[in-house]
Structures are given as C-alpha cells and as structure tokens.
Amino acid sequence: MNAAEPVLALDQVFTGYGKTTILNGTTARVRRGAITTVIGPNGAGKSTMFKTIFGLLPARSGTIRFDGRNVTNFTPRQMLDAGVVYIPQGRNIFPELSVRHNLELGGLSLRDQGSLSGRLDAVIERFPMLKEKAHAQGSTLSGGQQKLLEVARGLLLDPKLILIDEPSIGLSPAMVQQVFAILKGLRDSGVTVLLIEQNAKQALQVSDYGLVLEQGQTRIEDTAARILADPRIAQLFLGGGLSQPEPVS
C-alpha cells in the first residue's frame, strides 16, 4: 500500500437516525500514521461519523474505504478484523473485574487465541500503571486510568487505526496530558489515530491534521497547525473559537 495514500477515505457519506440526516455528504481523508482530530460544533456529526465508519450505524449512501478496501457497511466484527478499533465516549470497562481480566475480555475477538497471552504481556509492559494494578478491580481506577485501560484493551488487537471519542471528558489536566502522550506514542509506533475532542485547541496541539465538521459536512481539512491559526475556525465554535474548550455537557 502506498504510504502517501490515506488509510481511511469517506466519499459523500450520508446517514442519520430515522428521518433525521446527520452526515450530509461527508467527505474526508485520514492520513496514514498520523493523529487527526475531528472538531466542530455540537451536533455536527462527529460521533455519528465514527459510528458509521465502525459499522454501528449504516451509511445510507456514499463510500467508506479503509486501507484501499471498500468497507462501507461492514459490521463491527469485520472492522475489527480489518484492523480498526473504536473506543467510544464514556467509560466502557467491567468495574467488578480485575484490570487483567478486562484486558483478557478485550482479546476474545482475536482470531488467534494462542497469541493472546503474549499480546497481553506486551500491552501490560507498555502501560506501567496497568502492570502495577493488574489484579485490582476496574472500579478502583481513576477515570483517566480507566481510559488508559480502554486504550490498552484496544491495542491487544494490534490495530492499524484507532477511533477514540472524547478521551479527555472528566479527566484531570495531568491525566489528559498522559492520555495524549499515549496517543502520540501510538502514532510514533505506526498506528493511525482518529480523535474526537471537545478541547479542540489542546487536541490540535498534539495532532498532525484536523478535520472541521459543520452540519454533517467537512468544511476544513488541513494540517493541525494551519487549522489552529485559521480565523474562520472561531465561527464554527459558538462564541469561543479555539481559545477556550467547549463546556462538557
């Protein structure tokens, strides 16, 4: 595969819920081996875009290509097999189970279960906090630690692309920095990261590229640095531009 080609491409994708259209002909390109942040006003279609890519919501029309392959309306299982992991907004662990058991459950979708033990050990070594708390219940972890557990669980599947929705919600500033550092480390190891983040300024500062959605369409697609410096961006964020993060609802 040509490294210059986008790893993910959306062309004129329409979808929504019931009679309501959310993605209104979305077209986007995600660069291979980079962090790309998707920003835009509330209701712009950011989470809907991720759900459509991952097969949780069917595309009504348009095309989604991943790694040169047409994956439009693939099931989540097929997307996992293709190398895409989705980490949704909120906390998505089993609080009554240990950290290690949470990780083991994340590996159940591996086709080759014989590789699980080795992958599990490698992932735990990559996250010292998880190694230290491997036998602690998930409920004893802080919000930021739980988010790192979700990222680690996704890495068990050796993904090519990680979709992560609002990783900083509810986290302390120090833990937000740690999460972003982990995402940069993933990028540096060759994993493509596609990120939704309400704290647009902070996310773009650690990103390579950015996409700005408005009313279900891509309005701006550029390097993160140019998007940060673009005065038009302020008009897409009600009253605040990029100088302040949007309030968490």
In this predicted model, what pLDDT tens digit does every residue of 124-165 receive, in sequence order? Answer: 888 888 889 989 999 999 888 888 899 888 888 889 999 999
Judge contact between 52 and 22, C-beta under 8 A. no
C-alpha separations of 231 from 96, 103, 241 in Å: 47, 43, 8
Residues of the chain falling short of pLDDT 50:
1, 238-249
Residue 184 to residue 83: CA distance in whole angstroms: 19
> CB-side exposure of 113: number of CA atoms within 13 Å?
4
φ/ψ of 175, rounded to 5, equals -70, -35
SS3 178: helix
Write the single-letter amino acid at 49: M
Burial of 229-241, coded b for 16+ CB within 10 Å and e otherwise, reads ebeebeebbeeeb
- Closest listed residue to residue 28, CA positions, set 174, 209, 246: 209
What is the per-residue pLDDT for 200?
85
- Give the pTM: 0.87
Only one residue has tokens 């058991």, namely: 101
What is the per-residue pLDDT for 107?
74
SS3 19: coil
Residue 137 to residue 86: CA distance in whole angstroms: 23
Strand partners, 142: none
Judge contact between 7 and 67, C-beta under 8 A. yes
C-alpha separations of 53 from 99, 211, 214, 234 in Å: 28, 15, 18, 27
